[in-house]
Amino acid sequence: MNTGNTKVMNRFDVTSRLIAKLKHEEAVIGGIGNTNFDLWAAGHRPQNFYMLGSMGLAFPIALGVALAQPDRRVFALEGDGSLLMQLGALSTIATLKPKNLIMIVMDNGIYQITGAQPTPAASVADIVAIAAGSGLANSAWAADEEDFERLVDAAMSAAEPSLIAVRIDDKPGVGTTRRDPVQIRERFMHGLGVREPL
Amino acid sequence: MAIAEQQTQGQASGDQSWHGIVLQTLKRNEISLIPYVPDRVLTPLIKNLHADPFFTTFATAREEEAVGIVSGAWMGGRRGAVLMQTSGFATLANVLASLAVPYQIPLIMFVSERGTLGEFNYGQSLVCRTMRPVLDSLALEHHTITRLDELEFIADRSIKQAVTTQAPVALILNPLLTGGKVFDK
């Protein structure tokens, strides 16, 4: 990986920094496992959606939300292992160019939750180079926490989809999402203004 | 096959071809987001969807990606449907069981059926046999459409049922309806 200058950060810390910046009911899709555990731990919001399976689909789900609500910023948090399952989605997003979609990749090079086995990409591939090669020109590594926040700010007003990759440590998620898929989906739809509660 | 050819030719004048009926039924039900992985039989439908500005139609790299997209769109208040071939459906067991069903998402799938009624590729005929058992194992609603005069009723009613019951549905487009794909094509 060409990430020599990037600091190793912490998923929960980075996620918390992101959530603190959201002032306009932005949607956030949390990929499976630690990614959505830390989203949950950062403080539940009605505009958060937590995945309980379907590894690799955080970006496609976020793309769907972004296409349905073009005036709302939509964030997707995904692990590097999950993203490797669905690299084709990067090209789909690059083709459709939803400017309101912001992808964040938490890259620790391992499948932390299953026992910290290295991913096949760990020592050979560069997520940002893959994204750029897939047509997502607005892709960058966050050098440190401050740079991450700067990149998020820039993405908020970008004219094309953004991808921010973050090198993270091998720590597990801080919380555990309540695994109630119907309630997760229903409350997300309330949060997006699609439905009113009964 | 003659019927299928006639249906394909009919697209210019009227919309009584199978694909014309599917397109109109989608539109009537306000289904405007159509990600797909292509299939030869679906080509006239895909072409006409692309040509109609009501629809946002685009290819995805995998069928489960398309399922993720329409699931997100549904939660955001926009309706979609996924077009695929039998072999593409065979890649969906995980996303059906972990996203569409447990989250109660009205996932609408149109599956062009290969593997039967003149299939020439052994692998296609085998993969086709996995489709209905997977659908049945999750107790998913599915219909195999063989007749043009039943297409609109089945498609329209099934879409409405999917939305109102918040449950996925698979509409399987049989070669008796579409003409299918045969060895000499």
ipTM value of the model? 0.97
B-interface mutation test, from A28, A71, A92, most B Cβ less than 10 A away: A92
Amino acid at B129: R
Residues A63-79, mean pLDDT to the nearest whole number: 98
Instruction: Give residue B8's pLDDT band: very low, low, confident or very high (50, 70, 90).
Output: very low
Strand partners, A104: A77, A164
Q: How far is CA B104 from the centre of its chain?
A: 19
In the DSSP assignment, the letter for residue A109 is: S
Asked whether residue A187 carries a pLDDT value surpassing 80, the answer given is: yes
Please tell me the predicted confidence (pLDDT) of residue A138: 98
Asked whether residue A129 carries a pLDDT value surpassing 80, the answer given is: yes
Q: State whether residue A63 sits within 8 Å of chain B by CB.
A: yes
Instruction: Give residue B7's pLDDT band: very low, low, confident or very high (50, 70, 90).
Output: very low
Instruction: Give residue A5's pLDDT band: very low, low, confident or very high (50, 70, 90).
Output: confident
Asked whether residue B1 carries a pLDDT value surpassing 80, the answer given is: no
Q: How far is A184 from chain B (nearest CA, A)?
A: 8
Q: pLDDT per residue over B22-64, tens digit each?
A: 999 999 999 999 999 999 999 999 999 999 999 999 999 999 9
Strand partners, A54: none
Asked whether residue B11 carries a pLDDT value surpassing 60, the answer given is: no
Residues of A in contact with B62 (CB under 8 A): 86, 88
Tell me the pTM. 0.95
Task: Flag the least confident range among A6-10, A18-22, A69-73, B178-182.
Answer: B178-182
A–B CB contacts, 8 A cutoff, strictly below? 125
Instruction: Give residue A4's pLDDT band: very low, low, confident or very high (50, 70, 90).
Output: low
Q: How far is A53 from chain B (nearest CA, A)?
A: 5
Query: What DSSP string describes B12-33?
Result: TT-S-SHHHHHHHHHHHTTEEE
Q: Which among A86, A95, A194 has the least Cβ separation from residue B75?
A: A194
Residues B140-156, mean pLDDT to the nearest whole number: 98
Do the Cβ atoms of B62 and A86 come within 8 Å? yes
Asked whether residue B2 carries a pLDDT value surpassing 50, the answer given is: no
Summary mean pLDDT of chain B: 93
Burial profile B20-39: b = 16 or more Cβ within 10 angstroms, e = fewer: bbbbebbeebebbbbbbbeb
Q: What is the 3-state secondary structure (H, E, C) of chain A?
A: CCCCCCCCECHHHHHHHHHHHCCCCCEEEECCCHHHHHHHHCCCCCCEEECCCCCCCHHHHHHHHHHHCCCCCEEEEEEHHHHHCCCHHHHHHHHHCCCCEEEEEEECCEEHHHCCEECCCCCCCCHHHHHHHCCCCCEEECCCHHHHHHHHHHHHCCCCCEEEEEEECCCCCCCCCCCCHHHHHHHHHHHCCCCCCC
Instruction: Give residue A30's pLDDT band: very low, low, confident or very high (50, 70, 90).
Output: very high
Instruction: Give residue A2's pLDDT band: very low, low, confident or very high (50, 70, 90).
Output: low
